[in-house]
Amino acid sequence: MATVKTHIPKKFHDAVVKWRQTFLPDYDFLLDNWERYFPKDQRFETCAFRETGICDEIECGDRKGEPKFTRARDLDSEQAAHLLGAIRAQASTEFGSIQQHRLTLARAQDEKDQAWILRMMAEELRHGYQMLHLLLDDDWSSVTDVKSADMVEEILSMTTGSHVLGAFNIEFDSFVDNATFCAIIDRVGKYQLEMQRVSAYKPFAASMPPMLREEAFHLAAGIVPMRRWMEQAAQGSVYITTEDIQKALNKWLPRGLEMFGDERGGGTNVRYGLKPMKNAEAQGLYYDEVLKLVRDLNMRYLRARLPELKLKEAEQILDQIVDQRETVRGITFEELVHAPHKHFFRRRGVPSFEMTGWDGESFDDADSYLAHLSKQLPDAYRASSDFQDYAEKLRKVAGGEVTAADAAREMPTLRRVGGACPCSKSVRWVADNGASGNGGAS
């Protein structure tokens, strides 16, 4: 299939460029060195793509088989409201991811890893740009009084702490977070894009295939260094250990599971033809895929420690270590990595504020559970305001002061920052020269 390239109107395009100059200052370096790191790939461009030739009929839900909608005004009001919320949340996550990655980008040990993450950040910028194009290219007045220009301004004004989804309000502690985030959180993005590819709103569905192709690279930007770190740890490297990787998994996987929404929900999106799966089904498939990733990492470790093993023998030994928790050929259960229990450290969804341990065990009081978390999470993260907010809410839930549902609604604590940089109020901040056409690519 072919893609059609377009741009948002110039004043909004220029606002994104201003945002990029603040939060992606290495953009020019990436373009200057593109052929060095990615000689076989098409050069990056800040633009919006739409796939041509996608299915014209609604693919799931109550109106399956009917023509897909091409304008927001043709959708049912509640259907359009759900869709608008999804576009706004998607845009927020794309820009939010860049703000997180930039803080620890320079801490990469390997120049190639750094270049890969930088490319991923640029592509996240394009994904955010893609969502802004959806907001600006249609009339959403049937479901909101907020003008498209104001929605764009709001999105570009968000900073870490004020984004729509909790995972994008957590600061990174080291480059281990950069890679683990790509492997775990971008994997959620892959699932969301795959589901949204069948959307009953054709412009949204047509935006997904180009984003999915780029998302595959984002996953690789996390998996490739994690594999190498496991192999190096097996050889005795002390720079990034399996314990470091395990704690990063413990930090990010609970947030990834929550990004699918409450396990009891998602039926409305299915009925409206916006997604083909309910939340619990998609979340379960995601968790199973993470288990496969973890197994792959452990196989890398095992075969680096015992290079004489053939594949089948290595698989048998890994099963023995993991399933029976036995020490085999000097390798223990504890020195491998494992996916934490699905209810571990959750603050949204059905298990929100349950005191479920890493291995599925239960705790009776908040202090004991927080002591358990202190052993399972990175030290730097435990010193963060995000963890402090969680601990305060957990104690209130355990003490009967608030319900788990109310505490979940209050997480994460939003710290909205407006006007702190030229990107806030960015659409108005960029001088409008009166041009009404589309801006050029940056």
Lowest mean pLDDT segment, chosen from 155-159, 197-201, 425-429? 425-429
> Is 14-299 a domain of CATH 1.10.620.20?
yes
Cα angle 289, 355, 378; round to 5: 65
Q: In the chain, what percentage of residues exceed pLDDT 90? A: 87
The pLDDT assigned to 413 comes to 38
Q: Tens of pLDDT along 312-351?
A: 999 999 999 999 999 999 999 999 999 999 999 999 999 9
Domain ranges of the chain: 14-299, 340-409
Q: What is the pLDDT of residue 422?
A: 42
pTM for the predicted model, two decimal places: 0.91
pLDDT band at residue 162 under the 50/70/90 scheme? low
Tokens 């998607």, residue located: 90
Whether residue 121 has pLDDT greater than 90: yes
User: Can you give the pLDDT at residue 167?
Assistant: 72
Interior/surface letters 362-374, b for 16+ CB within 10 angstroms, e for the rest: ebeebeebbebbe
**What value does the mean pLDDT take over residues 224-251?**
97
- The pLDDT tens digits for 203-215 are 999 999 999 999 9
CA distance 179 to 60: 35
Assigned token pair, 423: 């990107």
Better pLDDT: 381 or 426: 381
CB atoms within 10 A of CB 215: 24
pLDDT score of 50 more than 50: yes
Is the pLDDT at 427 greater than 60, yes or no?
Answer: no
